[in-house]
Structure 1
Amino acid sequence: MAHLQLIATAPMGLESIVARELKELGYHDMTVENGRVTFSGDLIDICRCNLWLRTSDRILIKMGEFTATTFDELFEGTKALPWQDVIPQNGEFPVEGRSLKSQLSSVPACQSIVKKAVVDKLNLTYHTEWFPEDGPRYVIEVIMLNDIALITLDTTGSGLHKRGYRKLITEAPIKETMAAALIQLSRWNPTRPFYDPCCGSGTLLVEAAMIGWNIAPGLRRTFNSEDWPIIPEALWSEAREEAFDSIRDDIPLQISGSDIDPAAIEVAQAAVNSAGFAKDIQLEVLPITKARPKGDFGCIITNPPYGERLSEIEEVDKLIRELGRMAVGLPSWSFFAISSTKRFEQLFNKKADKRRKLYNGTIECQYYQYLGPLPPRHKQISPSE
């Protein structure tokens, strides 16, 4: 399987960000759809994309796509796919499924049919009807949408948001993939200060540091497909060496954060230390009213608490007002906040320059973007001057 159709899955609203990442990695033949970006690649691209994509959830192999209005069509369509080229005789191949707006609405039944079809196809190669499934893991997924079956194979394993540095979590942490997306949408770069006044578990700070130093987010973890015989170990070694060679840890970082909760700062410090930024990210226990980020033309990016009960909502409203007053005192800074609060702009006392609907988990939010002035460009001195 040298030439593949790969799928980078994306949280709702972040498809264009995933596509931008792929383009920056050198992929151009792609199709952007709801929840995924499909692109062409080879085996080494499985390695590279798992290591490098910051905002995608998983990298899948698209095994096939076909119309299936009956279980016979689902069975025959699945059996026709080249499973023997991917799954060895001892491979473990559980089947997951989803169905929406399709005649085949029973997900367990679809999973069972796909499993039986894969077994039948592998039987033609390995000449056995019993498979031990005690080897590498190959998670198959069948997605039924409008009577079209999409059959995929998961190369990732645990979601790509699990970078490996976050051992502890606060009450409502933001996913690493979403944090990276918020930073990329801000167009922040390491020449500018970065501050999070509601840093919680420190995820935004660590993701900013990884972006600033061009650290591939998957370097600290493993993936299901690392155990697959079809992907030589040399390809993973090549991709990891490329990633290590791309790190730019000589760039000074101006990243700091604070939180009013001492327990949250302890969690954030543990994440910062685990990620290797103990000397490069500064943390303080501070209320927003006392936060004083240093420097000019910086970016404040934050995920303030949302609040559900009345007492919490009142506290959140107060916090957003404090954020608004903080922004007034930093006229050269840009300000970005993701919030489910419908009255955010009213409480912040300023209409956002841009808004973008995003989903933080299952919670519908808006990403409020207040764009400050860009840093002045330094005059380039010609050799004659």
Structure 2
Amino acid sequence: MDRIELIAPCHFGLEAILKKEIQDLGYEISIVEDGRVSFYGDVAAICRANVFLRTAERVLLKAGSFKAETFDELFEKTKQIPWETYIPKNGKFWVVKAASVKSKLFSPSDIQSIMKKAMVNRMKDHYHVDWFDEDGAAYPVRVFLKKDVVTVGIDTSGTSLHKRGYRQYQSKAPITETLAAALIMLTPWTKNRILVDPFCGSGTFPIEAAMIAANIAPGMNRSFTAEEWTNYIPKKAWYDAVNEANEKVDMDVDVDIQGYDVDDEVIRAARKNAEAAGVEELIHFQQRAVKDLRHPKKYGFVITNPPYGERLEEKEALPALYAEFGESFRNLDSWSAYMITSFEETERYFGRKADKNRKIYNGMIKTYFYQFMGPKPPRAKKLLEEQVAKS
């Protein structure tokens, strides 16, 4: 089957995680840019990327790329793209989004309108019609302009990939599923290590960790826009991707993943979300305040999204909350802690300077991913000797 190029947008700063995911699926990277990774594959790659990628926001089929400094250039070069290769006569097509950075063409509405006209022009010539009913499958187009270079992609995902389908209940300041998965994958955590989230909210960190541990593909139980593209993607390619995902699931995995929250209602919601994700048996949720954070075992991980304090009265409570968190963590001998927060005085009140700190935008909020590293565990044999000596 012909080689195509796909574009996978992601959170800024987390491109390396997505790049590795794509390579692990067996695809060749074409370019890594701020906020997106492009790669080569066949038509089946559209299905596999949507089903398996944990950290991509969506998967776009690259239709073309060209330089345009005027609207005339934009029209003519958009018209040169072979739209009929992708869109059938009854397809519904429109430019759903246009973004422009450091380009002479910067009006999203004008870009969208002119490109739609160019697409219609091309399709009229090919299909020999003057009017399109557009009552078939949807082919939404997304456009990026950067330094006058126009990149055109057809959205194969539809609803953003962070919507796995399990989060029916959410807390006040939820972290997206794709960002949670990427942050977990940034840490050295593996399924044989303990993971605790003391501010679990709707349960996103524990649920994503459990899905990683059990090898559950994030897109297994949702639908995608391109499933209706029967003119371009055989239905069998979707069935094959889902069958491959089902074969990889390991629900017998032995894990210790825990989620705590001070609000009992929030914990009930987290349990329902875990049940919807099919991982409720792999996570222990419990109503517990951060001051009561403790665990008897060594070399565990805390990965969490503590309150930021978006309202004034919440901000006033943050110093005490982060101080309690820091005090509890100091009693977890040999553990590591990773937290994403916009609270600027995190290190001061947590009581320790982070070993690493990474700026990440959570939506429009500038946050930091603080990384407090504990010691590496001894090799399994040495650890067993220590346990035997203590018993």
- What TM-score do the two structures reach when normalised by structure 2? 0.94
Match of 2:50 in 1: 50
Tell me the residue number matched to 2:186: 185
Deviation of 1:272 after TM superposition, in Å, equals: 1.0
| Cross-structure match for 2:29 | 29
Matches for 1:147-162 after TM superposition, within 5 Å = 147-162=148-163
Deviation at 1:310, TM superposition (A): 3.4
Q: Is the 8 A contact 1:332 1:372 kept in 2?
A: yes
State the SS of the aligned residue for 1:39.
Answer: strand
Aligned to 2:185, the other structure's residue is in SS state helix
- Residue of structure 1 in register with 2:253 after alignment: 251
Counterpart CA distance in 1 for 2:342 and 2:239 is 42
Aligned twin of 2:292:
290
| Structural RMSD (CA) | 1.4
| Residues 280-317 of structure 1 deviation map (CA, whole Å, 9 limit, x = unaligned) | 21111111111223422111100001003332112122
- Please report how far the alpha carbon of residue 152 of structure 1 lies from its aligned counterpart in structure 2 after TM superposition: 1.1
Query: What is the rounded CA distance, in whole Å, between the counterparts of 1:379 and 1:331 in structure 2?
Result: 20
Q: Which residue of 1 aligns with 2:136?
A: 135
Give me the whole-angstrom Cα distance separating, in 2, the residues matched to 1:101 and 1:277.
Answer: 45
Within 5 A, what are the aligned runs for 1:1-385? 2-95=2-95, 96-229=97-230, 230-379=232-381
SS at the partner of 1:138?
strand
- Give unmatched runs, 5+ long, in structure 2: 383-391
CA contact (8 A) 2:197 2:258 kept: yes
After alignment, is 352-361 or 139-148 more displaced? 139-148
Greater CA deviation, 154-163 or 87-96? 87-96
Q: Which moved more, 1:206-215 or 1:323-332?
A: 323-332
Distance 1:257 1:293, change over 3 A: farther
Cα shift readout 1:64-108 (whole Å, capped 9, x = no counterpart):
111111111111111111110100111111212122322222221
2:389 is matched with: none
Structure 1 residue 22: Cα displacement: 1.2
Q: What is the letter of the counterpart of residue 374 of structure 2?
A: G
Give the aligned residue type for 2:93.
F
Corresponding letter in the other structure for 1:40 = Y
Q: How much has 1:253 moved relative to structure 2?
A: 1.6
Q: Distance in 1 between matches of 2:104 and 2:293?
A: 57
Partners in 1 of 2:71 and 2:308 — Cα distance? 45
C-alpha distance in 1 between matches for 2:375 and 2:20? 24
2:386 counterpart residue number: none
Contact 2:65 2:149 in 1 (8 A): yes
Structure 2 CA distance for aligned equivalents of residues 279 and 246 of structure 1: 18
- Deviations along 1:126-146, one digit per CA (max 9) or x if unpaired, are 111211111111111222222
The Cα offsets for residues 19-54 of structure 1, whole Å up to 9 and x where unpaired, read as 121122222333110111111111011111111111
In 2, Cα distance between equivalents of 1:207 and 1:282: 14
For residues 212-246 of structure 1, give each alpha carbon's deviation from its aligned partner in whole angstroms, at most 9, with x where no partner exists.
Answer: 01111000101000110210011111111111111
Give the stretch that moved more between structures: 204-213 or 267-276.
267-276
- Which amino acid in 2 is paired with 1:248? D
Could you give the per-residue CA deviations for residues 333-355 of structure 1, whole angstroms, max 9, x where no partner exists?
11111111111111111111111
Which whole-Å deviations, capped at 9, do the CAs of 1:156-207 have from their partners, x for residues lacking one?
0000000010111111110000110111011211101110000000010100
- Partner Cα distance (1:279, 1:294) in 2: 21
Task: Say if 1:139 and 1:294 are closer, same or farther in 2 by CA, change over 3 A.
Answer: farther
Q: Is the 8 A contact 2:292 2:328 kept in 1?
A: no
In structure 1, what is the Cα distance between the partners aligned to 2:207 and 2:312? 32
Conserved in 2, the CA contact under 8 Å of 1:120 and 1:129? Answer: no
Give aligned-pair identity as a percent.
Answer: 46
Contact 2:93 2:134 in 1 (8 A): yes
Q: Equivalents in 2 of 1:351, 1:14: separation in Å?
A: 23
1:378 Cα offset (Å)? 2.1
Q: 2:17 corresponds to which letter in structure 1?
A: I
Q: Tell me the CA shift for residue 375 of structure 1.
A: 2.6
Paired letter, 2:39: F
Asked if 1 retains the 8 angstrom alpha-carbon contact of 2:90 and 2:133, the reply is yes
Contact 2:293–2:329 (Cα < 8 Å) also in 1 = no
Q: Which amino acid aligns with 1:75?
A: F
Contact 1:157 / 1:224 at 8 angstroms: preserved in 2?
Answer: yes
Q: TM-score, normalised by structure 1?
A: 0.96
Query: What SS is found at the alignment partner of 2:359?
Result: strand
The CA distance in 1 between the partners of 2:9 and 2:328, in whole Å, is 37
Per the TM alignment, residue 373 of structure 1 is displaced from its structure 2 partner at its CA by 2.0
CA–CA separation in structure 2 for the residues paired with 1:137 and 1:124: 21
8 A Cα contact 2:143 2:151, kept in partner:
yes
